[in-house]
Amino acid sequence: MGRKSKHASSGHLPLTNYERKEIGKKYGTTTARLSGASQNTFGHCALSLHPAKDQPVATLSGHIYERPAILEYLLHQTQQLKKAQERYQQWLDTREHEETQQEEKKRKKELEKFEEAQKVVVKKQKVVE
């Protein structure tokens, strides 16, 4: 890449030609434009995407919602959170069980090593006598 100069040909942007081309690929309206489908139609609920007829509510930012859609969304999210909490609790229980098993195996190995060491000491005592 070329050197960034104060006297770049683009005027106030001190970028090289390569950098301007790379920026042009990622930004601007030439590569990505919003279609009408990505914008919410006026008077439609932002959650259900249907016309807001049953108890519409507007936020300060201008989004329109229906009260039943809000309640349904909150109920759904609450259920999802409960399921996620149950999965997390199961994971914690499994982890605790595995740690307990590992500690038990470690204790058994230490006990076996101790018993082997004691057998050697007992054999040496018998040989000396």
- The better pLDDT of the pair 96, 121 is held by 96
Model confidence over 46-83: pLDDT tens digits?
888 889 898 999 999 888 999 999 999 999 999 999 99
> 22: pLDDT confidence band, cut at 50, 70 and 90?
confident
Give the per-residue pLDDT at 67: 94
Closest CA to 70 of 82, 57, 80: 57
- The better pLDDT of the pair 120, 3 is held by 120
Q: What are phi and psi of 93, to 5 degrees?
A: -65, -45
Angle at 81 between CA 80 and CA 82, to 5 degrees: 90
Model confidence over 73-101: pLDDT tens digits?
999 999 999 999 999 999 999 999 999 99
Question: Residue 11 pLDDT > 60, yes or no?
Answer: no
